Chains A and B, each alone.
Chain A
Amino acid sequence: MLTLTCPNCGADCAETELAPGGEAHINRHGPGSSDAAFSEYLFHRKNPKGVHFERWRHAFGCGKWFHAARCTVTLEVFGTYPAEVTAPPEYIVAAIKARRPDWEG
């Protein structure tokens, strides 16, 4: 069972305290978008073997959403960061590169 640190309240959370929210940093395509863009937004997910950015909610805690950078193979957690960003911040990217020098994003 995973543990993630909630960047909002600072708690080390067990997976049972959290609700998963799928892949992070997906751009919303609303009215006026092309079928291709809308389909990409609605249905297409990366499902990578390796470094992955995810959304989680500290559902049975502070209630806040946050992001986690995690390896889907080893379950190593590179870091968690606030939900109010559209891309992983530099310190998260640096933490990933320190552990996965070959990772290209």
Chain B
Amino acid sequence: MPHRMPEGGVLIDRSRPIRFRFNGEELQGYVGDTLASALMANDKVLLGRSFKYHRPRGLIASGAEEPNALLGVGEGGRFEPNQRATMTELYDGLVATSQNHWPSLEFDIGAMNAAVANRIPVFSAGFYYKTFMYPRAAWKHVYEPFIRHAAGLGQAPTDPDPDVYEHYHTFCDVLVVGGGVAGLMAARRAAEAGAEVLLIEQTGHWGGRALTDTDTLIDGQPADAWAEAMAASLAAMPNVRMRTRIMGAGGYDHGWWLLYERVAEHSPGEEGMPRHRLWKVRAKQCVVATGAIERPLTFAENDKPGVMLASAVRDYIRLYGVRPARSAVVVANNDDAYRTALSLHRAGATVKAVLDTRAEANGALPGEARALGIPVRPGYGIAKVEGTMRVETVRIAPLADPSAVQLLVCDLVAMSGGWSPVVHLFSHGGGKLRWEEEMAMFRPEPERGAPIGPDGSVNTRCAGAANGALAAGDCLSDAVAVGDAAAEALGRQAPPAMPEVAAPAESPMEPHWFTPASGKYAHGNKHFVDFQNDVTAADIRLAAREGYESVEHTKRYTTLGMATDQGKTSNINGLALLAEARGEPIPAVGTTTFRPPYMPISLGSIAGRSRGDLFKVIRETPMHAWHAANGGDFEPVGDWFRPYCYRRAGEDRDAAVAREVLNARGKVGLLDATTLGKIVVKGPDAPSFLDLIYTNMMSSLKIGACRYGLMCNENGFLFDDGVVVRMAEDEYLLHTTTGGADRVHGHLEEWLQTEWWDLQVFTQNVTEQWAQIAIAGPQSRATLAAAGLVLEEGTLQDLAFMRYAPARISDLPVRLYRISFSGELAFELACPASAGMGLWERLLAAGADHGIQPYGTEALHVMRAEKGFIMIGDETDGTVTPQDLGLSWAVSKKKADFIGKRAFDRIDITREDRKQLVGLLTEDPTVVLPDGAHAVAEVKAAGQPMKTIGHVTSTYRSPVLGRSIAMALIERGRERMGEVLDFPLEGGSVIRATVSDPVFYDKEGARNA
């Protein structure tokens, strides 16, 4: 039975007991515990159910590699699923729940999957692909809903997250990831050489495995004492920053690193502290000192709670004072695992046997075990683990004679299949790996490829165990060399020094990939390779038999190494079994790609502060407050928020829009047009530049005149439009669409800088410098007169259509344009943005006697559609030419060149069956066509494919015409005037509409004469 020992536990503070809950039960731990160690101290061995088979599972590991103990932690908005118990620091009041079981952890219906699986191959590799094939219709209605219900780990939280998250950007010379002995040593070397060092450690303490494995002496000190002293000495250096609880999450191009800091995760709700902080670091050099992960061994029923990694067992004893068992069996293929036998023995547990899969075990550590009376059995393995909810007995057998089974009673199996360097961060940036036969591991091979900086030189190196240097002496000398190499890459050097290391000599490990179950114990056993995804050795062999030769395919077919775990404990064992099944060496099978993040990071940390009001920047015009205070019903247009309409009491949107349209057409309306893009183009070559930019001629524009212009790209497709004003001989003002100002400005600059850089032209985007107001309707002129508008030259009455005049209202200078997007007599006034609100209110006051009302974007849309004016983004979609829209009149025939001109000669642009802009009048005038509705050549029964000949681009109810109107792009549309088209809708109904001219109202333009 696991329990807290009376003393020991270097990381816990026994003077500070804290309470926490697991599945509703109140338990006690200490400050310094992880959730895992505290659960173990309370004899909680069963912590969850497995993914596919719902088998009982417990802790395997003590660190980031834990595949089983994924718990829901927290409550309400702070609930987070799939938290590794081993990486969750215990805090007072922590609430944890186990996952993936129903109705309870102890009794689970899903476990029948496993019971059935023992008889027929349910849930074996490719089960879903093979089983849920027929009938086809059943997939959508039966199989998928069922599988979706059963699939997935944990539940998503439903309440908003109350915590704060933030991003932090920083730079350093050398980033050292990992605060074990190698990381400390490498950081020390780089720092001594004078580099700015950032040293991070994912746990809350320095020293890594040195805290547990203190039998190594460094410079005469036990490893843990050395690490403590080294950390203290680094902390005293001004050029070293040290942070714990930060994980290296991902490595990217040119020394860009994503780090994940758990700031207040262990103190939820702490005032002023973000829960997580995402670091974005640009480092000139990086040392990856992330250590190594111990591998499980693959034997029958190796997933029973109580089967653990050997190193984790002694971690719990040494770090947390928790003895995981009363009696144990250790099974290993290396000397290192004997440290666990010694540790268990000294903690008062009975070690029933150390089963060593090697033929001999004669190293110093096995010798020490024997001297303590621990039975050492070379050439032995585990035939099967038995027990209902946890380890109860173990069947062991000589590997040479699997039938000679013996029974051992124990409650813990500590296993070790050797160690795998944590090369993830090295591999993220493209680092290559090499298979090391002797140590049975993939280790970095920088000669074949390592992450590089912009200058092409290596900027990332692994150090210590992460570099395959497992033995303490090798680890430290490697760390010195790598720390020095990082410094040297920066042109720095530290005085030579090398620590003295004394550690027990270890005999070589020998790979042991699979232990067969033997005798009558062989039936129906599962040898788990990937615990998190429930992938067994049999699954991998089945995949190999079915022809999955590539490891990448096998991974996806079996799910080996997928999900949150990314194969930390399973990758190498899986590769070895696949290689064995294919009769090939391991390097021939290769390894899968490591992808960031190393461990899952919270979605909150990715969002950072960008949530709620800060999610997106919103642009507001100077008159925004007025709109908001006067019924403005806003809609987003680009980054802007514009009033869609102004609703009065009791009015819905449709009624408000109709009222605004009728008022503008009948009296006078006011529109906030500030969001229109405004770009100044100035310089002696401005006329010829704009001739190249617009499809029509701009050099011929008279000073003070306005012209509607079209911009195409080189494909000949229309992408923006607007009124161009010639302010002076060498100066134009370009109006663009609301959403297009930045795009158009970028377009101008691109051509100026990269193609026509000989032209003397400046451009400036002045959209936000000017407030702009459109005033439209028969009373617009009278309103402007009432407002006291005076032109600098001439009179308002004489200002012709498409003319510009400088003017003033009292002492406010304004720019006055007589332009119209409604077909009414209309003007636009521009003034400095800071005066926008004053001008708006003044015009409203002046128009009061004339019946003025503001109108929103929808009334603007309705009125322009009534007049057949196109709207970029409605009538255009990036594949539409001016000619398609009947705008050939705005495409110059005279100019030798402009952007898009050549494209108008392309076969696809000149073909006669292109879609063309037309108007549509529904047979039933009360019916409004849905936006985007498709016209078909022939209506067929539902479900039958129909040939479409075009689609609706704009559609409205016209208050002034008292009927619906629409615009559409229809194949050969202009030839179809008067033709009735069918628009079939979802549900089988068909709307019929007659093709018409797209100008529905005031065709002769009498209203703006």
Chain A residues close to B by CB (< 8 Å) = 1-4, 14-15, 19, 21, 28-33, 35, 38, 41-42, 55, 57, 59, 63-65, 71, 74-77, 83-84, 99
- Answer whether A76 and B454 are a contact pair too, CB < 8 Å, given A28-B755, A42-B714, A84-B757: yes
CB distance from B354 to the nearest CB of A (A): 48
Closest to A3 in B: B254
Which of the listed residues B452, B714, B753, B755 has the most CB atoms from chain A within 10 Å of its own CB? Answer: B753
Is the pair B750, A65 in contact by a Cβ cutoff of 8 Å?
yes
Judge whether B256 is part of the interface by a CB distance below 8 angstroms. Answer: yes
Judge whether B434 is part of the interface by a CB distance below 8 angstroms. Answer: no
29 contacts between A and B (CB under 8 A): A1-B252, A1-B253, A1-B256, A2-B253, A2-B254, A3-B254, A3-B282, A3-B454, A15-B253, A19-B746, A21-B750, A21-B754, A29-B902, A31-B901, A35-B907, A38-B906, A41-B714, A57-B746, A57-B749, A59-B746, A63-B749, A65-B750, A71-B456, A75-B253, A76-B454, A76-B455, A76-B456, A77-B454, A99-B456
Please give me the 9 A-B residue pairs with the lowest Cβ-Cβ distance, nearest first: A76-B456, A1-B256, A77-B454, A65-B753, A84-B757, A3-B254, A31-B902, A31-B901, A30-B897
Task: State the CA gap A32–B753 with chains docked (Å).
Answer: 24
Chain B residues 869 to 908 lying within 8 A of chain A, measured CB to CB, are 896-897, 901-903, 905-907
Chain B residues close to A by CB (< 8 Å) = 252-254, 256, 282, 430, 452, 454-456, 714-715, 746, 749-750, 753-755, 757, 896-897, 901-903, 905-907
Task: State the CA gap A28–B754 with chains docked (Å).
Answer: 11
CB distance from A45 to the nearest CB of B (A): 14
CB distance from A74 to the nearest CB of B (A): 6
Is the pair B754, A83 in contact by a Cβ cutoff of 8 Å?
yes
Task: State the CA gap A99–B456 with chains docked (Å).
Answer: 9
Closest to A78 in B: B456
* Residues of chain A lying within 8 A (CB to CB) of residue B907: 35
* Residues of chain B lying within 8 A (CB to CB) of residue A19: 746
Is the pair B452, A74 in contact by a Cβ cutoff of 8 Å?
yes
Task: State the CA gap A31–B716 with chains docked (Å).
Answer: 12
Which of the listed residues A30, A38, A55, A77 has the most CB atoms from chain B within 10 Å of its own CB? Answer: A30
Task: State the CA gap A64–B752 with chains docked (Å).
Answer: 10
Known: A3-B254, A84-B757. 20 other contacts (CB 8 A): A1-B253, A15-B253, A30-B902, A31-B897, A31-B901, A31-B905, A38-B902, A41-B714, A42-B714, A55-B754, A57-B750, A64-B753, A65-B749, A71-B456, A74-B456, A75-B253, A76-B452, A76-B456, A77-B456, A99-B456
Is the pair B755, A31 in contact by a Cβ cutoff of 8 Å?
no
* Residues of chain B lying within 8 A (CB to CB) of residue A1: 252-254, 256
Task: State the CA gap A64–B746 with chains docked (Å).
Answer: 10
Closest to B753 in A: A65
CB distance from B347 to the nearest CB of A (A): 48
Is the pair A30, B901 in contact by a Cβ cutoff of 8 Å?
yes
Task: State the CA gap A74–B254 with chains docked (Å).
Answer: 10
Closest to B714 in A: A42
* Residues of chain B lying within 8 A (CB to CB) of residue A65: 749-750, 753-754
Is the pair A33, B754 in contact by a Cβ cutoff of 8 Å?
no
CB distance from A23 to the nearest CB of B (A): 12
* Residues of chain A lying within 8 A (CB to CB) of residue B754: 21, 55, 65, 83
Closest to A73 in B: B430
Is the pair A42, B715 in contact by a Cβ cutoff of 8 Å?
yes
* Residues of chain B lying within 8 A (CB to CB) of residue A15: 253
Task: State the CA gap A62–B715 with chains docked (Å).
Answer: 29
CB distance from A47 to the nearest CB of B (A): 19
- Answer whether A77 and B455 are a contact pair too, CB < 8 Å, given A31-B902, A57-B750: yes
Closest to B258 in A: A1
Is the pair B753, A75 in contact by a Cβ cutoff of 8 Å?
no
- Answer whether A83 and B454 are a contact pair too, CB < 8 Å, given A3-B254, A29-B902: no
* Residues of chain A lying within 8 A (CB to CB) of residue B452: 74-76
Task: State the CA gap A83–B452 with chains docked (Å).
Answer: 26
* Residues of chain A lying within 8 A (CB to CB) of residue B896: 31
* Residues of chain A lying within 8 A (CB to CB) of residue B256: 1, 14
* Residues of chain A lying within 8 A (CB to CB) of residue B757: 83-84
* Residues of chain A lying within 8 A (CB to CB) of residue B714: 41-42
Task: State the CA gap A63–B757 with chains docked (Å).
Answer: 15
Which of the listed residues B254, B746, B903, B907 has the most CB atoms from chain A within 10 Å of its own CB? Answer: B254
Is the pair B253, A14 in contact by a Cβ cutoff of 8 Å?
no
* Residues of chain A lying within 8 A (CB to CB) of residue B905: 31
Closest to A77 in B: B454
* Residues of chain B lying within 8 A (CB to CB) of residue A2: 253-254, 454
* Residues of chain B lying within 8 A (CB to CB) of residue A21: 750, 754
CB distance from A49 to the nearest CB of B (A): 14
Which of A30, A33, A59, A75 touches B254 (beta carbons < 8 Å)?
Answer: A75
Closest to B757 in A: A84
CB distance from A24 to the nearest CB of B (A): 9
Task: State the CA gap A76–B429 with chains docked (Å).
Answer: 13
Task: State the CA gap A66–B754 with chains docked (Å).
Answer: 8
Task: State the CA gap A99–B452 with chains docked (Å).
Answer: 14
Task: State the CA gap A6–B897 with chains docked (Å).
Answer: 32
Closest to A75 in B: B253
* Residues of chain B lying within 8 A (CB to CB) of residue A64: 753
Task: State the CA gap A2–B282 with chains docked (Å).
Answer: 10
* Residues of chain B lying within 8 A (CB to CB) of residue A84: 753, 757
Closest to B904 in A: A31
* Residues of chain A lying within 8 A (CB to CB) of residue B715: 42
CB distance from A13 to the nearest CB of B (A): 11
* Residues of chain A lying within 8 A (CB to CB) of residue B454: 2-4, 75-77
Task: State the CA gap A3–B901 with chains docked (Å).
Answer: 37
